[in-house]
Structure 1
Amino acid sequence: MADELADKTIGERIQILRERQGKSRPVLAGLVGRSGEWLKAVEKGRLHPPRWEKLVQLADALGVQDLAELTGDKPPMGATGRATHEVVPAMREAIEETMLSVSAERVPDSAMLHQRTADAWHLWHTSPTPRASVGAVLPRILREARHATRVLDGDQRRQAHVALSAAYALSEQVLAWVADSALLWLAADRCMSAAEQADDPEALAGAAWVLGNVWRSTGREEDALRLVTDAAELLAPHLNTSGDGTRALWGSCRLHAAITAARLGREGDALRHLDQASDMADRLPDDYAHPWTLFGRANTDVTGVSVQVDLRKSGQAIDVAEQINPDQVPSVDRRARLWLETARAYHQRREHTATLHVLQRATNVSEESMRCHPLSRGIAGELVTLGGRMVQPEAWGLAHRLGLTV
């Protein structure tokens, strides 16, 4: 790969990496909110190389961890790369540390671990600073759950593995976009390993949802799609006999499949999976939300906006968004994401004023979430450079809030 990329322009490097992954121009362009024609012009050198905000998005979409693979040297002046967060070192220590021996004098209670993990998930969804809030409590939960899986036996040990899988699942959410891919992979892999030890269908499906997130974000969309499809099939025999949690995880896997198919450019498959999820949401109580994935009526509608944006159906995305009451979305982070997805839709239409104001709303809901997400940072950077004089002063202020150097 190094030889193949040597002496290549940024556009040529993007094309080589894209073709090696089997992505078409429209698919890759759609993942970064641009047109296939724009990407072709970049690859062929008819446009100047993208600014760093867009290069970061392209790197994420291509699964490239070192931006120098795209630039050939150092990132452009002013690039800050991925967002970082102060909780990452403590999370890394809790995930990576070894436990060669454990004390059997203090035997943890698996029910208490389940409750503490559930409380941490609730905190993730309700805090306007979810990473800071959860990062303060999750390392200890991870250590205690790992301890429990070593000293408990029988069903108590299996239940401890269920709690540990849930804690690792939350770790993936905390670390997404702010940690290196190796740590993210480790958290997701241990989430699945704990679920396998628990041998519990819901834990396995939840872990598949987590691992699928990581696969999709690192360029393995096909693998992610197969994984969540298999997870839904694992749960299918239990849909009429188990509780709402099983049905919600089945629906979560369908929503995951809908987004993944949309990013692959498979409109029919994306809409079919979305319809299946919507039908399942109708089977649940109106105000139901899964404690991890938030699956329910509100989150299904929010995901519908994301699917339409990823399919580059910006008008339909805006229409869907206008039917959603943000106050009914049972998560601060997901509420901010609704505004971000709507901003993406306006951004696709080159409606800079609307894009700015909607992205400001997203930032007002959760500044931390928007500071950490590459899509919000990329759009904010483009508003500064391409939005025009009318929006530029406010765009500068927004970029500053999101931690950008432009």
Structure 2
Amino acid sequence: MDLTGRSGHEAVPAMREAIESQMLVVTGEPVDVDQLVQRAGDAWALWHSSPSPRAAVGAVLPRIISDGRRSTRLLEGDQRRRAHAALSSAYALSEQLLAWVADGQLLWLTADRCMASAEQADDPLALALAAWVVGNVWRVTGREDDALRLATDAADLLTPRLDSGQEARALWGAVRLHAAITSAKMGREGDALRYLDDAAEMAAAMPDYAHAATLFGIPNATLTGVSVHVELRKGSKAVDVADAVDPDSIPSQDRRARVWLEVARAYSQRKDNTVAVHVLQRAVNTSQEAMMCHPLARSLASELVTSGGRIVERDARALASAIGVSV
């Protein structure tokens, strides 16, 4: 398996068919909008609860997308806008599933469809979630300036609506975290920490809440600080942040695995390779599928084999093999 390329997954062909198929003629009855909204929400819950989220969600998401596309063609008025919001949410989840396993063209198409449906829904919440999705894609494809601008624009869109409910506040916090990570990747430490503080303040105001899609809440906001400091190449600070919170408090197997990956990266930056191997193993135990698909996990496993020293080489080699990397 290539260390930096996309790994592929059995769920991709059905996802591609649902997203790329052309619907020139649409007949029959639309799916009930309430059911469509519920199915999209259930798919997000399945994504967060499963240790193999791509396989689990890949079994149900293509049908949700196909039904959503049909319904947005057959419905009118407010019902059509609600269907578009549900479809945009399904596309947002598709981006999570396809990241690192599908070709760039399909990922870009999915992100574009997500934003297009949010625009048709004319719903600030749907637009903010779509901005979170598109910004993620831009950040990892070298368009950090555009990603940061989109995140701040989404926060500005939601600012007048923060009194409308917890979902608006959570999405505001989520795009603030997105801005923090993006700024850190750009080396803009002051901006990164300022956005991180903004998100932490918002999370503290809603202590028992976790957004259904982005998981924004106190644990996620705190642990995103680990990612920010790792991107800033401050491994010791990242470890200190990680020590202050329990990753198991995040209600998502995939997100917990990625947090353990970030902590492993932090220890690797400190040249504490023995602990890095142990922590990366925790990530694999949490979601082997997630680590098999993530290039940073594959890259770190390879580095620990080749550069971690003889004391960890055997364990690191077994770990690399477990996630499909031959070193």
TM-score (structure 2 length as normaliser): 0.98
Give the aligned partner of residue 158 of structure 2. 235
Aligned with residue 296 of structure 2, among 375, 378, 382? 375
C-alpha deviations, 1:141-166, integer Å up to 9, x for none? 00000010000111000000000000
Give the aligned partner of residue 189 of structure 2. 267
Give the aligned partner of residue 23 of structure 2. 99
Letter aligned with residue 287 of structure 1: D
Give the aligned partner of residue 134 of structure 1. 57
Give the aligned partner of residue 396 of structure 1. 317
Give the aligned partner of residue 120 of structure 1. 43
- 2:229 is equivalent to residue 305 of structure 1: no
Aligned with residue 80 of structure 2, among 157, 170, 175? 157
- 2:235 is equivalent to residue 314 of structure 1: yes
Partner secondary structure for residue 310 of structure 2: coil
For 2:245 and 2:63, how far apart are their aligned partners in 1?
37
Partner secondary structure for residue 112 of structure 1: helix
For 2:218 and 2:290, how far apart are their aligned partners in 1?
22
For 2:299 and 2:30, how far apart are their aligned partners in 1?
48
- 2:114 is equivalent to residue 191 of structure 1: yes
Give the aligned partner of residue 147 of structure 2. 224
Aligned with residue 293 of structure 1, among 214, 219, 236? 214
Partner secondary structure for residue 311 of structure 2: coil
C-alpha deviations, 1:115-152, integer Å up to 9, x for none? 00000000000100000000010000000000100001
Give the aligned partner of residue 256 of structure 1. 178
For 1:340 and 1:287, how far apart are their aligned partners in 2?
25
Letter aligned with residue 89 of structure 1: P
- How far does residue 327 in structure 1 lie from its aligned partner after superposition? 2.0
- Superposed, 1:209-220 pairs within 5 Å as 209-220=132-143
- How far does residue 84 in structure 1 lie from its aligned partner after superposition? 1.4
Aligned with residue 331 of structure 1, among 252, 256, 259? 252
For 2:109 and 2:315, how far apart are their aligned partners in 1?
40
Letter aligned with residue 195 of structure 2: H
Aligned with residue 13 of structure 2, among 63, 74, 89? 89
Q: Which has the larger radius of gyration?
A: 1
- How far does residue 324 in structure 1 lie from its aligned partner after superposition? 1.0
Unaligned runs of 5+ in 1: 1-51, 57-80
Contact 2:260 2:279 (C-alpha < 8 Å) held by counterparts: yes
Partner secondary structure for residue 239 of structure 1: helix
For 2:20 and 2:31, how far apart are their aligned partners in 1?
21
TM-score (structure 1 length as normaliser): 0.79
- How far does residue 107 in structure 1 lie from its aligned partner after superposition? 2.6
For 1:330 and 1:181, how far apart are their aligned partners in 2?
29
C-alpha deviations, 1:164-199, integer Å up to 9, x for none? 000000000000011111100000000000000000
- How far does residue 232 in structure 1 lie from its aligned partner after superposition? 0.5
The structure whose residues are more often helix, as a share, is 2
Percent of aligned positions that are identical: 64
For 1:301 and 1:85, how far apart are their aligned partners in 2?
31
For 1:283 and 1:355, how far apart are their aligned partners in 2?
34
C-alpha deviations, 1:192-219, integer Å up to 9, x for none? 0000000000000110000001101100
- 2:272 is equivalent to residue 351 of structure 1: yes
- 2:165 is equivalent to residue 205 of structure 1: no
- How far does residue 312 in structure 1 lie from its aligned partner after superposition? 1.0
Letter aligned with residue 379 of structure 1: L
Letter aligned with residue 25 of structure 2: S
RMSD: 0.9
Letter aligned with residue 258 of structure 1: A
For 2:81 and 2:175, how far apart are their aligned partners in 1?
23
